Amino acid sequence: MTDEVSFGNKLMVAFLRFMVFVLVIILIAIPVCIILDILGVLDAFGLG
C-alpha cells in the first residue's frame, strides 16, 4: 500500500471540514438568536 493521498480524497476532506465548520456556526447561532430574541435585541434592530 502507498501512503499517497489522491486529489479526490484531499478535496473530500476539505469539503467535509468546511461542512463541519458551517454546522458548528449554525449550532452556535441558534441559541444566540433565541437569547437575543428573549432580550428584545432583535426588535430594536427591526428584525423581530
The C-alpha atoms of residue 10 and residue 28 are separated, in whole angstroms, by: 27
Domain boundaries, the chain: 7-44
The C-alpha atoms of residue 20 and residue 26 are separated, in whole angstroms, by: 10
Each residue's pLDDT tens digit, 24-38:
999 999 999 999 989
DSSP 8-state assignment for residue 40 = T
Tell me the average pLDDT of the chain: 90
What's the whole-number mean pLDDT along residues 1-29?
93
